[in-house]
Amino acid sequence: MRAQDIIAKKRDGFSLSKEEIDFFIQGFTQGEIPDYQAAAWLMAVYLRGMSKEETIHLTKAMARSGRMLDLKGVAPFVVDKHSTGGVGDKTTLVVAPLVSACGVPVGKISGRGLGFSGGTLDKLESFAGFTSQLDGDRFLSNLARYGIVVAGQTEELAPADGVLYALRDVTATVGCVPLIASSIMSKKLASGADGIVLDVKVGRGAFMKSEEEAVRLAQAMVEIGEGVGRRVSAVISDMSQPLGYAVGNALEVREAIDTLKDSGPPDFWEHCLVIATHMLMLTSSYDAEAAQEALRGALRSGRGLEKFKDLVVAQGGDPAPIDDPMLLPQAPLQHPVTAPRAGYIAALDAQKVGMAAMRLGAGRAKKGEPIDHGVGIVLHKKIGDQVEAGEKILTVHAQSKEAAQEAESLLLGAYAWSAEPLEPPPLIHRIIPWSGR
Ligand code: URA
């Protein structure tokens, strides 16, 4: 087999066989196929697409490029969730402890924030000492002992995805459904969960800007799940405005703690309940009603909050801020921003809010940059809310007055106003349930 023949076959619109895909992925990961051939292949895939079967083969080939965690010895059924990324998305911090508190272990690989989009690991590192750098053995032992683990991607898991993603990033081949779906699902396969709920975000603050694109990606991932014998369902959820009120690492942790204490923002709690319900339903031991009842029970009894403490302690963090959130990192300056006019908020562009948070230091423009855990934005009003001119609409948490003022002008550009009342966008656009097969 020769790499150039496989590139030509895809360039000319033909389907690749399992053997050809395996050959290409193995060859590239082992350094036998050079970057320039992999780049040409990626562009051919980008332009020609891939069938369902090809996408499944690609996912398996990438998953098998490294260690495949076997969770069978740890628990009979482990669940995971994955968000395609958004602004103010601290869902994992709430749903992982709640689902685990219902007796279903959660083993999760999470990512870091990049650009306007936040990352779960950065949020968790608001706890002093918390580490997400767990190797496969520690991932398994934490899962066995605590029933919850949230770790970062390591080089042992799906290394093919790491090298291919880096190349996609610089060859304009990121935005391609089979490549995104196989990239996400290869890591999920390698980390071993039996059931996965995909939270596919749609809107201005998401990777997928239209519902049609989001549904295509969700369907591709659910089909991969079916093809590889994992239970997968997908929730298409709104990211036209930030989720909840807080945007920024420690601020979001605080909102997650409030939510686990049953006093979080209603939209955020509703979102968490939908995701966690589907995680429990994948076990086949719960229908929707039983799942919601169990989750509400775990919330009200405080068992979810205790499980969150377990997670923080198990990964070396100081759990004191869970009882006293004032101990979380805080920015020195709190700068209120007021409404420039009276009316109803018609839009609150999540991407612009995410960019403003990044400029404050909460996120990174390039991989590997340090971040500031204390800074960010707390919204006080959201789409559909009525405000008076001069009423406080948000608070910027910043290191300096200059940074706060820059954020204020970016943030005011995120709003559109209406003189007429309007409905907020739906929180959940669509659900693609596990087929039960
Ligand atoms: N997230 C991933 O893990 N992979 C992609 O290709 C895009 C988003």
Tell me the pLDDT tens digit for each residue of 353-395.
999 999 999 998 877 788 999 999 999 999 999 999 999 999 9
**Mean pLDDT to the nearest integer, 282-301:** 97
Confidence of residue 153 (pLDDT cuts 50, 70, 90): confident
Segment 211-232, tens digit of pLDDT: 999 999 999 999 999 999 999 9
Q: Ligand 1 centre from 185 Cα, in Å? A: 9
Segment 5-33, tens digit of pLDDT: 999 999 999 999 999 999 999 999 999 99
Active site residue 341: no
With a pLDDT cut of 90, the percent of the chain lying above it is: 89
User: For the whole model, what pTM was predicted?
Assistant: 0.95
Q: What is the pLDDT of residue 155?
A: 83
Q: Ligand 1 centre from 180 Cα, in Å? A: 5
Pocket of ligand 1 contains residue 208 by CB under 6 Å: no
Strand arrangement, sheet containing 386-387:
386-387, 343-348, 415-418
- Pair 75, 142: CB distance under 8 Å: no
The contacts of residue 100 (CB under 8 Å, 6+ apart) are 106, 146, 147, 148, 307
**Mean pLDDT to the nearest integer, 128-157:** 93
Q: What is the pLDDT of residue 344?
A: 98
Q: Ligand 1 centre from 333 Cα, in Å? A: 35
Instruction: Check 60, 168, 335, 382 and give the catalytic one.
Output: 168
Per the structure block, which two tokens stand in for 149? 């683990």
Pocket of ligand 1 contains residue 183 by CB under 6 Å: yes
Residue 207 has pLDDT above 90, yes or no: no
Pocket of ligand 1 contains residue 87 by CB under 6 Å: no
Residue closest by Cα to atom 1 of ligand 1? 184
**Nearest Cα to 174, choosing from 238, 135, 117, 123?**
117
Q: Ligand 1 centre from 76 Cα, in Å? A: 28
Q: Which ligand 1 atom lies nearest to the CA of residue 165?
A: 6
Residue closest by Cα to atom 5 of ligand 1? 180
Segment 165-190, tens digit of pLDDT: 889 988 999 889 999 999 999 999 99
Residue 437 has pLDDT above 70, yes or no: no
Residue 435 has pLDDT above 90, yes or no: no
Instruction: Check 57, 90, 187, 352 and give the catalytic one.
Output: 187
Average of per-residue pLDDT values in the chain: 95
Instruction: Check 60, 81, 82, 382 and give the catalytic one.
Output: 82
- Pair 360, 248: CB distance under 8 Å: yes
- Domains of the chain and CATH, by start: 3-49 (1.20.970.10), 79-324+428-432 (3.40.1030.10), 330-418 (3.90.1170.30)
Q: What is the pLDDT of residue 154?
A: 84
Confidence of residue 82 (pLDDT cuts 50, 70, 90): very high
Q: What is the pLDDT of residue 83?
A: 95
Q: What is the pLDDT of residue 431?
A: 97
